[in-house]
């Protein structure tokens, strides 16, 4: 019987990409699992491909990392040959090409987001199997199953940068509350004409949903206090 410690590293994950008026916001949780164990509670699932393009990774950690590494290498060569930064579409199609050609061996779903001078902010979803879809927003990973109805209600065109990031953080925190494979901190990457901004939000700063318990330093703190009341939504 395979030891749970030897199970493949998997990012049962929540990843999100949202366009707004002027750019994109990418977001992800930070939990990486090995079987039933949390292998890394603060992993970074938003990986840089070029100065203006990033990718959110879900599924097998090894598979998503090797695809990202290959795409980054090819994009560096592409940039040298053209003498200008690669577009978001080129980066997304390279991810799609590698994912499709190796679909029988890869277990990873990716979201490519970025900004370029030709088409502005763009989000591309490359799910398991190598399909490519350009969308105004997209969600992926195990936590995404809890978010489709929320995004149908909450997403709107023409959002500001602040509104888009607030939506992404709220969505990831909702998924963390429901999905046992999502957790840790929330990381966001904002990409627009001015460059890239990285932010992260620790677990104790996220809103509580449903019947989540407040963070405590010790089990004794929980036993000695009254039953906590969840934050109202």
Give φ, ψ of 67 to 5 degrees: -65, -45
- Give the CA distances from residue 218 to residues 31, 114, 221, in Å, rounded to whole numbers and listed in that order: 21, 42, 5
Q: Structure tokens of 202?
A: 């620790």
- Give the CA distances from residue 121 to residues 95, 135, 145, 214, in Å, rounded to whole numbers and listed in that order: 18, 11, 25, 37
* Best CA proximity match to 72, nearest among 94, 49, 55: 49
Confirm if 140 and 87 have CB atoms less than 8 A apart: no
**Largest Cα–Cα distance in the chain?**
65
13 assigned to active site = yes
d(Cα 64, Cα 218) in Å, to the nearest integer?
A: 36
Catalytically active residues are 13
């Amino acid at each position: 019987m395979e030891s749970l410690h030897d199970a493949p590293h998997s990012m049962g994950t929540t990843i999100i990409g949202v366009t707004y008026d002027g750019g994109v916001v990418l977001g992800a949780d930070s939990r990486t699992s090995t079987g039933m164990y949390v292998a890394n509670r603060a992993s970074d699932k938003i990986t840089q491909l070029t100065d203006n393009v990033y990718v959110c990774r879900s599924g097998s950690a090894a598979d998503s990392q090797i695809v990202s590494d290959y795409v980054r290498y090819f994009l560096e060569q592409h940039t040298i040959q053209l003498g200008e930064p690669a577009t978001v579409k080129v980066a997304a199609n390279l991810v799609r090409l590698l994912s499709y050609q190796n679909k029988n061996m890869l277990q990873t779903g990716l979201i490519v987001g970025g900004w370029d001078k030709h088409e502005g902010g763009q989000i591309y979803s490359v799910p398991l199997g190598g399909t490519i879809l350009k969308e105004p927003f997209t969600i992926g990973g195990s936590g995404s199953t809890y978010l489709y109805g929320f995004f149908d209600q909450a997403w709107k065109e023409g959002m500001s940068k602040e509104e888009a990031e607030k939506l992404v953080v709220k969505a990831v925190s909702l998924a963390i509350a429901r999905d046992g494979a999502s957790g840790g901190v929330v990381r966001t990457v904002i990409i627009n004409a001015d460059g890239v901004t990285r932010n992260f939000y620790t677990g104790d700063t996220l809103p509580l949903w449903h019947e989540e318990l407040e963070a405590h330093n010790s089990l004794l703190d929980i036993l000695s206090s009254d039953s906590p009341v969840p934050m109202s939504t």
